[in-house]
Structure 1
C-alpha cells in the first residue's frame, strides 16, 4: 500500500511530524501551534520593547527619593563633578555599581557634547525600560519551558498588565534593577522541568543583584539552598559555582568602590550593620509586623490579588518553590521595622506566574477576568504615572529656567522648604545653580533627643526662618519652594521680605502631613535683593 498523508510511514509516525497533521490547529491552541514559527521570538521582543517604551513615556511622577538620590544624582556627580551626595555615600552604605551604569550614559553624552538636561533625565529611564523588557521576555520563556506556550502567554499578560510593575519598572531604583536581575537569573535557574546547564549564568546575575542591593540575598537564600540540596555534585557546585562567582563579583564591587570612595569600603557589611544590627532604618518610619500581609502585598498585587490566591492552588507542584520564596521574602521583611512597598517588588514577577496560571485554568469568565484586569490596572497605572505626585518633578522644569539668568542679574538661589529629598537635584537641572534643601541624616551616635534639620524646621517654621536669615538678609534666597500646607505658617516671613508667588504645580489629590496638594514657588522682589 502506498504511503499517504492519512497513512504515513512508521518512521515518520514516530517523529510525529506536523507535515502529516491534516487538521488546522484549534483556536485555543493557536499560540502553541505558532510558538515554533520563525520570528515569534523577535516579534515578542519588539512588542515588549514597544510596551515598555510607552510605559516609560507615561510615567511622569515621582515615587521615592531613592530613584534619583541613589542613582542619577550620584552618576551626575561622578561625571560632571558637582552635585550632592547623601549621608549613605559618606558612610559607605551604597555600591557605585548601579550609578556607574548611568554615569556611563552621561559620559557618552558628555563626550558627544549632547548632555542636555532632557537626555540626562530620559535616557537612563529608557535604559531601565529596555532592561525591564528583556526581563519580561525571559519570564515568558521560563514559563514556556516549564509548561507550555498557553500558560506562558497568560503569565506574560499578567506581567505586562500589572499596575505596580508599570509604575516601577522604568524608574531608576535599585529595587527595579534587583527585580530585573532576579527575573533574568530565574530564567537560567535549574528548576524541575528545565534544562540542567551551567549554573554560572544565574549565579552571576543573582550575585550582581546582591551587589547592587544586599537585600537580594533574602530572596535567593531558599533558591540557593534548594539547588545545593538537589545537586548531586555538591562539591563541584560549591567550588566551581558559588565560591568563584561570589568572590569574583564581590571583588569587582570592591575595586569599583575603591576607585570612587578613594579607600577600601565593604558597603555590604555597612549596609547590614546599619539596617539590621543597629536597625537605624526605622528613623525613616516603621510599621507593624503584619503590614506586608495586610497592606503591602495586597497593594502591590492590586487587582491581581484574587488571581494570585487562586493560582497558588492551581499552579503545578513544580511552582511550589516560587511560592515558598514569596512567603519567605515577605516573612523576613515583616520582621524589619522599616517597610516600603518597593522592598517586595522583586517577588512580583513570581506572583505573576501564579496569576497567569489562574487565568490559564479559567474557562468560564476568562474574558470578563481579562477585561477586569486590563481596565482596573490601566486606571491605577495611568493615575499613579501621570497624576499622583508629579508636582515635585514639574517644579524642576520651572527651576531650570533660572540657569539662564542674564549677567547683569544677581545669580539665582533656591531654598527648598520641603521634606528632605522631595525633589531631584542637579540631575534634573544640570547647571551649578545654588540649591539648598532641609537635610535629614539619621543620628549615628545613639542620642535619644536627636532632631534633624527638617524636624527642627517643621517644629516651628517661622522661628527657624527668622533665626536663619535675620542676622544676614544677604543670605536670603531668590526663590523658595514649598508645599501648599506650609504657606499659611510662613506667610509673615514671605510678606516681610518681599516674596511673591511665582508658580504653582499640582502634586497630589491625597495630601498628608507635610505633603501638600500643590507645590508653590515664591520669588523675591528684584528691588529687595
Structure 2
C-alpha cells in the first residue's frame, strides 16, 4: 500500500543518513516467472544451513556450548555445561527449542551427530528464509519487485551471511529477527499489525542475544523521531509480550523472573568482569574487520544514497540502528569480531536497495547482468576474510568420524575443552579429554587408560608418542589425523 502523495516525510535524526521509506508501487513478475524466482530465493536462503551442516566446525565456542551442548544435556541428561549455565547468565529459549528438535531426531532414530545437527538446523533455516523474505519486502518498496529480488540476493549471498546465518550463535539468530523487525517497522500500512510484529521480532532478537537491546532502543528512538506514535505504541506492546514470556521462562528455569538478563548485565556491563576475564581492546580493534566485511557494492550505495537525498528525506531505520549499535560496540571494553555481525547485516539491508535499483534500471541487459555478477561476486568474496578465525571444520568432522563404531574413549590433541565439539558431536556417553602436549596429564592418562581407543590430533602433534603407545593411523581428514588402538 503506497503512502499518500500529500503525506509529509518523516523527520530525520540529525547526523544520520536518510532514504525513502514510503511504499513505492511495484509490479510482481507474471505467475509463470514467479516460481523460478521463488525457488531461487529459497535455495539461497537455505545455503547457510546446508553449509553449516556439511562443514561442521565452529566460529566461536559459544556456537556449541551456549546452544547445542545445553540442548543435548537437556535431552540426554549428560553434557558439558559452561559456567554461564551454572551462574544463570543464559536463558533457555534457544537451547530449549533446539532440545525439542533433538528430541524429534531421537524419536526418528537419527543418532549420527551430523544427522541430528541437520534436524536442529530446521528452525534456524526457517528463520533465515523469513528474514530474506522480509529483506525482499523492504527493498521492493524502494526498487520495485526486480530490485527487491536482487537486493535479497545481495544480502543472502553476502559472505558473512553465508558463514554466520546457519550457525547456532546468538549473533546469527538475533540478526535474522532484526531484519524481520526492520521490515515490519518500515511499513506504512496496518500500524497495529506492523507494530506487534516489529515489537515481537525486536523482543525475540533480545531474547536470543541480550546486546541486541541496543538496536531496540535505536528503533524506538527512530519511531519517536518520525512521530509514528501508533506504531511506536504497538511496537512496545509486542515487545512487552515477549518480555513477559522471558520473565516466565526464567522464573520456571532459574527461580526468578528475568534472572538471566540481570545476571548478564551485572557481569558484562556493570562489573567489568567480562573485560577482565576475556580481554579488552580499543576502538581500533574493529577497523580491519569492518574494512574486510564491507563489499564494494555496499560502498557504491553511498553516492547512490546521497543522490536519493535530493528527492526524498526520510529516515533509514536499519542504517540508523546499525550505526548506533556499532558505535556502542566501539566504546565497550571487551571486543570480538563476531559482535559486528548484526550491525553489518542491518547496514547491508540499508545499502542493498539503492544498488539494486541502479542495476535493474540499466536499459541494456548485458550491463544489468554484468553489474549483477560483479556485485554478487564482491559480496561472496568477503567470506574469505570475515571472520578471520579458524573454523576447525576438519577437526569436528574428524571427531564425528572417530567416535563411530567401537569408540570407547577419545583424546583430542592440540585443542582445549572449549574449542572441541562437546558430547553433541561425540554423540555418545564415552570419556573424552583434550590436551596440547604429550607431557600433559590428560595425555598421560589417556595413554594408560585402555578405554581411550580413539585419538584425533591436529597437524600431527604428538604423533610419534601416540604410535609408541600402540595407536595406528586410521584416516586423515584435512589437517586432522585419526588414530585407533585395539
- What's the TM-score bracket when you normalise by the shorter of the two chains? 0.7 to 0.9
Residues 181, 209 of structure 1: 8 Å contact kept: yes
Once residues 260 and 96 of structure 2 are traced to their aligned partners in structure 1, the CA distance between those partners, rounded to angstroms, is: 15
Q: Aligned-pair RMSD on alpha carbons?
A: 3.5
Answer yes or no: is 1:102 the counterpart of 2:119: no
Structure 2, gaps ≥5 residues long: 1-24
What is the CA-CA distance between 1:175 and the residue it aligns to?
A: 1.2
Question: Is 1:390 the equivalent of 2:386?
Answer: no
User: TM-score if structure 1 supplies the norm length?
Assistant: 0.74
Q: Which moved more, 1:262-271 or 1:357-366?
A: 357-366
> Are 1:428 and 2:422 matched, yes or no?
no
Q: Which has the higher contact order (CA 8 A, sep 6+)?
A: 2
Name the counterpart of 1:132.
Answer: 128
Shift in alpha-carbon separation, 1:358–1:332, aligned structure 2, 3 A: same
Q: Alpha carbons of 1:116 and 1:469: their partners in 2 closer, same or farther (altered >3 Å)?
A: closer
**CA–CA distance in structure 2, aligned partners of residues 187 and 61 of structure 1:** 31
Residue number in structure 2 paired with 1:464: 440
| Residue deviations 1:138-179 (CA, integer Å, cap 9, x gap) | 111122235533442332231122111111112222211101
Describe how 1:179-198 pairs up with structure 2 within 5 A. 179-190=175-186, 196-198=191-193
Q: Does the alignment pair 1:481 with 2:456?
A: yes
In structure 1, the partner of 2:288 is 295
Indicate if the aligned counterparts of 1:484 and 1:519 stay in contact, CA closer than 8 A: yes
1:80 aligns with 2:76: yes
Q: Deviations over 1:503-529 (max 9, x none)?
A: 4322xxxxxxxxxxx233444x44xxx
Give the superposition deviation at 1:493: 4.9
- The two structures have a TM-score, normalised by structure 2, of 0.79
SS of the counterpart of 2:295?
helix
Gap regions ≥5 residues in structure 1 = 1-31, 406-410, 439-457, 507-517
CA distance in 2, matches of 1:520, 1:320: 51
Aligned to 1:75, what secondary structure does the other structure show?
Answer: helix
Shift in Å at residue 110 of structure 1? 2.7
- Residue of structure 2 equivalent to 1:338: 334
Equivalent residue for 1:274, pick from 267, 270, 275: 267
Does the 8 A contact of 2:29 with 2:145 survive in 1? no
Q: What SS class does the counterpart of residue 414 from structure 1 fall into?
A: strand
SS in 1 for 2:418: coil
CA–CA distance in structure 1, aligned partners of residues 49 and 240 of structure 2: 35
Q: Distance in 2 between matches of 1:163 and 1:150?
A: 22
- The count of aligned residue pairs is 447
Distance 1:44 1:126, change over 3 A: farther
Q: Are residues 1:519 and 2:480 paired? A: yes
Partner of 1:322: helix, strand, or coil? helix
Q: 2:155 aligns with which of 159, 169, 190?
A: 159
1-structure distance, mates of 2:184, 2:122: 25
Using the alignment, how far apart are the partners of 1:55 and 1:267 within structure 2?
29
Tell me if 1:52 matches 2:40: no
